[in-house]
Amino acid sequence: MTAAGLASYQAALDELAGSSRLRSLAPRQGIDFTSNDYLGLAASPRLAGALTAAIARGTPVGAGGSRLLRGNAPEHEALEARAAAFFHAERALFFCSGYVANYALLSTLPQRGDLLILDALVHASAREGARAGRAEVTQVAHNDAEALEATMRAWRDGGGRGRIWLAVESLYSMDGDRAPLDKLVAIVERYDAMLLVDEAHATGLYGPDGRGLAWGLEGRDNVIALHTCGKALGGAGALISGPRVLCDFMLNRGRPFIYSTAPSPLMAVAALEALEILREEPERRERLAHLVSAAGRAALASGAATPTGSQILPVIVGDDRAALSLAAGLQRRGFDVRAVRPPTVPDGTARLRISITLNVDEHDVEALFAALAAERGMLAA
């Protein structure tokens, strides 16, 4: 490509920089208030020990091929069997990331003639999967059950005869609020629809043994769940759990599954061990719940944010530059807090996304919100 050809790319980057939306990589440093390592498992001795033992007994680092060729390892099958039992589903499939799993799910299962409805704040990976699929796609206002039912009714009244699919997150990654799952499943059942629940930020933290917010719905033939392994479970990859026939269909028709090199067998070992930790160490969830409550009190007292009741606390700033300035100020004070800007969040809602994990303690939480109050005061001066 000529220099002239590259110029258009540089111009696009310059435009992003001018609007304070240019992304770049930054090293991890300071006290962790930005990761999704909610239960502190990523560096846990128990997970490290499981991987060390697996390597010692000959578990390979790489899979060497797709699952349908040589890449199907015993560790993958052991994880999928355990995950299906753990989440009370008929079957589970292991993917290399949550993004790939969401993309595969929404590009494969909804068919031509179907309607796929997305919550307005659902993950970008779900949107990309929907765009690549064959179904008609629309979206409804965030967590608006009445709007959802009206959309389904209008589509049926307009002659829609295919299957209706609804894709939501059980706990939203940028706002920390929950989907009204009881209302949604009731609507889904009235319209003979399918509910796709992304449990990325709920798996490991909520429900019996950390089975997620949709734990009471799994096992139904109209519910599919996605459980990421790279957040509270401390490793990498993702599991889709649901009816056996739909998992088998994805194995046969899901191009991201068929044509991807399988996840590392070591990551399957890590995820399997993490599921055992969830069952055997409930005190991790109890400690996190205590920290979440403390963070909610500190956020409210400082005037920074309204508690969400979850481990995700958005501090809405509005202006992109102001959000970057606040994040930089907190980083200088030793806190790893990042600014999240459009298009990841809606225009005018640039924010600090504060994540509460077991990598901090209550003193750290109090110190963070004191520092945030100081930085906001300096910004307003």
Among 201, 241, 302, 310, which one carries the catalytic annotation? 201
Q: 364, 346, 264, 79: which is closest to 354 by C-alpha?
A: 364
Among 123, 125, 143, 302, which one carries the catalytic annotation? 123
Place of tokens 């939480």: 365
Per the annotation, the verdict on 201 as an active-site residue is yes
Q: Is 182 exposed, middle or buried (CB count within 10 Å of its CB: 0-12, 13-18, 19+)?
A: exposed
Paired sense of beta strands 223-228 and 194-198, if any: parallel
Among 32, 44, 119, 231, which one carries the catalytic annotation? 231
Per the annotation, the verdict on 183 as an active-site residue is no
CB atoms within 10 A of CB 154: 11
Per the annotation, the verdict on 169 as an active-site residue is yes
Paired sense of beta strands 164-169 and 194-198, if any: parallel
Per the annotation, the verdict on 123 as an active-site residue is yes
State phi, psi for 353 to the nearest 5 degrees: -100, 105
Q: Is 9 exposed, middle or buried (CB count within 10 Å of its CB: 0-12, 13-18, 19+)?
A: exposed
Rounded distance between C-alpha atoms, residue 61 and residue 63, angstroms:
7
Rounded distance between C-alpha atoms, residue 144 and residue 129, angstroms:
22
Per the annotation, the verdict on 36 as an active-site residue is yes
Among 36, 102, 302, 310, which one carries the catalytic annotation? 36
Per the annotation, the verdict on 260 as an active-site residue is no
Among 44, 102, 125, 173, which one carries the catalytic annotation? 173
Among 149, 198, 320, 375, which one carries the catalytic annotation? 198
Among 80, 169, 273, 364, which one carries the catalytic annotation? 169
Q: Is 33 exposed, middle or buried (CB count within 10 Å of its CB: 0-12, 13-18, 19+)?
A: buried
Rounded distance between C-alpha atoms, residue 355 and residue 288, angstroms:
11
Question: Active-site residues: which are they?
Answer: 36, 123, 169, 173, 198, 201, 231
